[in-house]
Amino acid sequence: MENFTPVSALIGGGLIGFAALLLLLLLGRIAGISGIVSQLFSKQANWFSQNIWRVLFVIGLVLGPIVAVNLFDVLAPQAPTGNSVTLIIAGLLVGFGAVYGSGCTSGHGVCGISRLSKRSIVATCVFMATAMLTVWLTR
C-alpha radius of gyration, the chain, whole number: 17
Q: What is the pLDDT of residue 57?
A: 92
By CB atoms closer than 10 A (0-12, 13-18, 19+), residue 111 is: buried
Please give the average per-residue pLDDT across 37-49, as a whole number.
82
Taking each helix axis as running N to C, give the angle between helix 47-71 and helix 33-40, from 0 to 180 degrees, rounded to the nearest 10.
130
| Average pLDDT score over residue span 42-53 | 83
pLDDT at 58: 92
* Whole-number Å distance between alpha carbons of 62 and 17: 18
Is the pLDDT confidence value at 1 over 60?
Answer: no
Of 125, 120, 122, the residue nearest 110 (C-alpha): 120
Q: How far is the C-alpha of 130 from the C-alpha of 85, rounded, in Å?
A: 21
What is the pLDDT, as a whole number, of residue 105? 79
Give the model confidence (pLDDT) of 63-93 as tens digits. Answer: 988 998 899 877 887 877 888 898 889 888 8
In Å, how far from its chain's centre is CA 131? 15
Proportion of the chain above pLDDT 70, given as a percent: 99
Mean pLDDT taken over the chain? 87
pLDDT exceeds cutoff 70 at 107:
yes
Residue 99 pLDDT exceeds 90: no
Contact call for residues 113 and 36 (beta carbons, < 8 A): no
With a CB cutoff of 8 Å and minimum separation 6, the contacts of 127 are 101, 105, 108, 109
The pLDDT-based confidence of 114 (bands split at 50, 70, 90) is confident
What per-residue confidence (pLDDT) applies to 81? Answer: 81
